[in-house]
Amino acid sequence: MLAGKHIILGITGGIAAYKSVMLLRLLIKKGAEVQVIITPSGKEFITPVTLSALSGKPVISEFFTANTGEWHSHVDLGLWADAMVIAPATACTIAKMACGVADNMLVTSYLSAKAPVFVAPAMDLDMMAHPSTKRNLETLRSYGNHIIEPASGELASHLVGKGRMEEPENIVKVLEDFFCTAKPLAGKKMLITAGPTYERIDPVRFIGNFSTGKMGYAIADAAARMGAEVTLVSGPVSIAPEERSVNVVKVESAREMCDACTERFQDTDIAIMCAAVADYAPAHTYSTKIKREKDEVPVITLVKNPDIAATLGRQKHPGQILVGFALETDHEEANAKLKLDSKNLDMIVLNSLRDPQAGFGTDTNKITIITAKGSAMDFPVKSKTEVAKDILHAIVDL
């Protein structure tokens, strides 16, 4: 599983650095190519000579090699890596990672890394339990990093509690599990729309809707985890994808979303139209705020927005898959089938607003997947993360 994988092993200044030697040996034994980056204080605990002898590569610690002036490119390293493992991760490095304090080669490379990042904290129990450490770990988690929780036991201070770096064998297992997860969408380019669109009336007002983008973002994350190269064209939302590889293109209006999608569609294998696109936009956007008049009520004339799914449906060529959503309040299945045909979709995901656990803002959804070939499949209420997987598996089956 790890054979041929490029792994950056980041080592920071904690007693548990001695365990990193064993971790390095195990990774090399599994056939991985390992580049060690050690922080300046990490070198107080373990010598670069040991690490370079085991990895077969010079250990990187500084931005430059002192005697030659050779620059170590954190950007190239970030792109080279299939995974980055920071073990041990001290409270200090975790805090720097959470805040983006790039004052050493390790944190700088972390900020440039496109690959998944695994963090194995190691510290004294009180440091581990401190609210700032907890919050920093939560922040790292929210950025999509994988935290390998420390174990409880006797610590270097002889105190007993949570803070022992996970054993090297178990860290290797976490990596193996990660890489062995099936990647059925590897090599596929995906375009996903998400969130609402805002149609400007004047500089402070718009026509919008209640979409939060949760479903589209969950699909983008799940698709990236299944190996796809994902572009997420998103209307205004307050969430971010968990997977760092997801390329987010932010737009505001339906017209901007349509342009962003048509520009990219030719180069797309699978497009999923999950956005709640406004059907109409004001015919005119005022450049200054509309004033409240005493007697007159302003009239806003609307014009039709482009139907993005239908536009892509007309451009679709054989081999491309186009998936739409239908949010219906009545005659759900019949309406969904009509949309499937009229927009030239290959599949439509139906969710009904009648269901209290489906629709805007909820963390759950209940869907029926209808394909152009005529099959219809009902799913029970599930979390949006699980629903995303169901939708993607149905696409893989197509």
Binding site for ligand C5P (CB under 6 A): 193, 254, 273-275, 277, 279, 305, 307-309, 324-326, 339
Considering the complex, state which of residue 289 and residue 331 has its C-beta at the smaller distance from ligand C5P: 331
Check 209, 247, 335, 344 and give the catalytic one: 209
Minimum distance of ligand C5P from residue 252's CB (angstroms):
14
As beta bridge partners, residue 304 has 280
Minimum distance of ligand C5P from residue 328's CB (angstroms):
8
Minimum distance of ligand C5P from residue 261's CB (angstroms):
8
Helix/strand/coil (H, E, C) string of the chain?
Answer: CCCCCEEEEEECCCCCHHHHHHHHHHHHHCCCEEEEEECCCHHHCCCHHHHHHHHCCCCECCCECCCCCCECCHHHHHHHCCEEEEEEECHHHHHHHHHCCCCCHHHHHHHHCCCCEEEEECCCHHHHHCHHHHHHHHHHHHCCCEECCCEEEECCCCCEEEEECCCHHHHHHHHHHHHHCCCCCCCCEEEEEECECCEEEECCEEECCCCCCHHHHHHHHHHHHCCCEEEEEECCCCCCCCCCCCEEEECCCHHHHHHHHHHHHCCCCEEEECCECCCEEECCCCCCCCCCCCCCCCCCCEEECCCHHHHHHHHCCCCCEEEEEEEECCCHHHHHHHHHHHCCCCEEEEEECCCCCCCCCCCEECEEEEECCCCEEECCCEEHHHHHHHHHHHHHHC
- Which residues, in sequence order, are CB contacts of 373 under 8 Å at separation 6+? none
Considering the complex, state which of residue 91 and residue 327 has its C-beta at the smaller distance from ligand C5P: 327
User: Is 344 one of the annotated active-site residues of the chain?
Assistant: no
Considering the complex, state which of residue 122 and residue 326 has its C-beta at the smaller distance from ligand C5P: 326
Considering the complex, state which of residue 166 and residue 199 has its C-beta at the smaller distance from ligand C5P: 199
Minimum distance of ligand C5P from residue 216's CB (angstroms):
9
> Tokens 């699909």 map to which residue?
219
Q: 176 and 148 in contact (C-beta within 8 Å)?
A: no
Minimum distance of ligand C5P from residue 134's CB (angstroms):
39
Considering the complex, state which of residue 170 and residue 315 has its C-beta at the smaller distance from ligand C5P: 315
Cα dihedral value 202, 204, 209, 214, nearest 10: 130
Neighbours of 374 (CB within 10 A): 8
d(CA 77, CA 363): 37
Considering the complex, state which of residue 7 and residue 323 has its C-beta at the smaller distance from ligand C5P: 323
Backbone φ, ψ for residue 65 (5° rounding)? -80, 125
Considering the complex, state which of residue 46 and residue 194 has its C-beta at the smaller distance from ligand C5P: 194
Q: 171 and 81 in contact (C-beta within 8 Å)?
A: no
Considering the complex, state which of residue 87 and residue 395 has its C-beta at the smaller distance from ligand C5P: 395
Minimum distance of ligand C5P from residue 353's CB (angstroms):
12
Minimum distance of ligand C5P from residue 25's CB (angstroms):
51
Minimum distance of ligand C5P from residue 24's CB (angstroms):
48
Q: Which residues are catalytic?
A: 209
